[in-house]
Amino acid sequence: MFLEWVILLPLSLAAICPLKGHQVCNIRNSEDYYHDDNKHQCTCAVTVASDRPAPEQSCTNLIKRDEDGSFPVVSLTFNLKDSPDMDEFPEESFRDTISGALRVNPADILLLRVNCQGTEDTLTVQFAVLKKKAEKEMKHTQVKKITKKMDEDEDDEDEDDDEDEDDKEDKAKIVNKKDDDDDDNDDEDDDDDDGKKSKGRKNDKHNDEDDSDGGDDNDDEDDEDDDDDFYIKYEKEMFVDAESVATRMKAMGHLSQIADLQLDMIEFTDELIQLEYEPDNSTLVVQAIAAGVSVVLMMLLGIWATCRKNGYSDDLQKV
């Protein structure tokens, strides 16, 4: 009997849901973290069970969503009750099964969400399939952005050099003029020069402050542009039509299971589920009310039982 408990206890703890930690997806080479196959790795689920920050960027950063936040994906819902016990989502097997069914490159399958949605019995996986030329288009776009950025930097440097040369010429003219004036009136010009220098220093200081403020604003804008260029942003035109992919998968009778997980539903949607599951407040309110009513009923039942017991004892004492 004891041996059975020892065997069954680890099996009961081996479950995908609820998530025990943040879920990272699109890891195709677990041995080499910096391998090019892992360029799409991202956080596809965040759980409150872990107090650590997300280990990778959000998978949302890989795509360019519409203004309303929508993005077309294929959504799969798995029934974990009828699936074998697993301690983590079998991404590699899932990717191989999907790529074989759709006849696409496994690297073109981009997982965006893998979340339990606050349940222990269901798992939701949302993904999209990149077109064959998407990688080339993205690299071409990135090269154009980098080239444009370099050209802008060079133009800024040339403008700065031209301004420096103009300043030097102006200063040389001023010095020559001062030398001529000094030959005529040394004493008066010395006083005037001191006043001009002090005013010039004040004006230069004021201009430097203005340039500094303007430079800071420009630096902030440049930093924002750099952040935009840092992430890979795939537009929805770079993906295979998600609705057609979902339709094809529904027509395949052998996809009742994927990676040994029982598949309940295949659907097309343009709404990504939340990265971190947020429970419905109405459900929590109902649960709290039910718990409160249960406590009150138990208290009333206890009081009634106590009073009845005391009354019964009094009757016995009278007899």
Task: Please compute the mean of the pLDDT values over residues 176-196 and round it to a whole number.
Answer: 52
Element (H, E) at 19: none
Q: What angle do CA 72, 42, 13 make, to 5 degrees?
A: 100
Using the predicted structure, report yes or no on whether residue 3 has a pLDDT greater than 80.
Answer: no
- C-alpha angle with apex 236: 232 to 242, nearest 5 degrees? 125
- Other C-beta atoms lying within 10 Å of the C-beta of residue 182: 14
Q: Locate the domains of the chain by residue range.
A: 10-130+237-269, 146-230
pLDDT over threshold 50, residue 197: no
* Helix (H/G/I), strand (E/B), else coil: 276: strand
Identify the CA nearest to 89 among candidates 261, 277, 274, 249: 261
Q: Which of 268, 272, 291 is nearest to 117 (CA)?
A: 272
Q: Which H or E run includes 78?
A: strand 73-79
Name which of 286, 307, 272 is nearest 69 in CA terms: 272
Q: How far is CA 66 from CA 107, 254, 271, 295, in A?
A: 24, 34, 11, 49
As a whole number of angstroms, the distance between CA 183 and CA 203 comes to 27
Between 45 and 178, residue with greater pLDDT: 45
Is 15 in contact with 116 (CB distance < 8 Å)?
Answer: no
Taking CA atoms, 194 is separated from 135, 198, 202, 204, 301, in Å, by 66, 6, 12, 15, 98
| Dihedral in degrees, nearest 10, Cα atoms 102, 106, 108, 110 | 100
Residue with tokens 């009310």: 289
Q: Would you state the pLDDT for residue 287?
A: 72
Q: Does the pTM of the predicted model rise above 0.85? A: no
Mean pLDDT score across all residues of the chain: 76
Alpha helix stretches (DSSP H) within the chain: 2-13, 91-102, 134-184, 186-230, 242-250, 281-318
What per-residue confidence (pLDDT) applies to 258? 95
Q: Per-residue pLDDT tens for 295-307?
A: 998 888 888 888 8
The residues, ordered by sequence, that sit 6+ positions from 183 with a Cβ below 8 Å of its Cβ are none
> Is the distance from CB of 62 to CB of 240 less than 8 angstroms?
no
The pair of structure tokens assigned to 73 is 């994906």
Residue 92's closest CA among 319, 306, 258? 258
The angle subtended at Cα 46 by Cα 43 and Cα 49, nearest 5°, is 140
Q: Summarize the confidence of residues 154-177 as an average pLDDT.
A: 61
If you average pLDDT over residues 237-257, what whole number do you get? 94
Q: What's the average model confidence in pLDDT over 100-116?
A: 95
Spatial separation of the C-alpha atoms in residues 138 and 66, rounded to whole Å: 18
Percent share of the chain, pLDDT over 70: 58
